């Protein structure tokens, strides 16, 4: 048990990539880093373990655990501000590492951070390789929509 939450088996335990609708790029731990605080950016989709994530249920929420590093996707510094960047860090079950998944049109989902109530997005709706992932107020923007592939 962590922070009063019981870990449950997710029905999506196999590694999956998170493909952004706007950029057609995947959530990518930059340079396949295994360090705490390593940036999570968008990159051309490939079979690399640094682009594979295992959604792990924690109560009704999810940790997104990177296959390469074994670390969780989180918002840096537990920030609640728009523009706060996504990084990876050792999984603790803290609220800035927990996400809800909400279905949107066409099989896409949004990921909302439990701590901030903001959505994971590709910053500035960029389509460039290496564009930062950050959080922002949830909108209908396609840069906040993800296909789990």
Per-residue confidence (pLDDT) for residue 13, from 0 to 100: 74
Does a structural domain hold residue 1?
Answer: no
Residues of the chain with pLDDT under 70: 1-12
Per-residue confidence (pLDDT) for residue 76, from 0 to 100: 98
Beta bridge partners of 18: 148
What is the radius of gyration, based on Cα positions, of the chain?
14
**Cβ(16)–Cβ(113) under 8 Å?**
no
Does a structural domain hold residue 7?
Answer: no
* DSSP track, 13-39: -S-B-EEETTT--EEEEGGG--STT-B
Per-residue confidence (pLDDT) for residue 95, from 0 to 100: 98
Range of the domain at 135: 18-148
Per-residue confidence (pLDDT) for residue 8, from 0 to 100: 44
Domain count for the chain? 1
**Cβ(119)–Cβ(104) under 8 Å?**
no
Per-residue confidence (pLDDT) for residue 123, from 0 to 100: 99
């Amino acid at each position: 048990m962590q922070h009063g939450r019981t870990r449950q088996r997710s029905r999506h335990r196999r590694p999956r990539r998170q493909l952004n609708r706007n950029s057609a790029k995947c959530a990518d731990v930059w340079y396949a880093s295994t360090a705490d605080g390593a940036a999570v950016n968008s990159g051309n989709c490939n079979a690399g373990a640094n682009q594979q994530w295992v959604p792990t249920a924690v109560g009704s929420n999810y940790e997104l655990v990177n296959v390469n590093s074994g670390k969780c996707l989180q918002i840096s510094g537990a920030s609640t501000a728009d523009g706060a960047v996504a990084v990876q860090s050792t999984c603790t079950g803290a609220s800035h590492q927990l996400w809800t998944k909400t279905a949107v049109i066409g099989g896409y989902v949004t990921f909302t951070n439990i701590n901030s109530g903001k959505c994971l997005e590709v910053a500035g709706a960029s389509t460039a390789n290496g564009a930062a992932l950050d959080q922002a107020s949830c909108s209908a923007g396609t840069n906040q929509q993800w296909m789990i592939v």
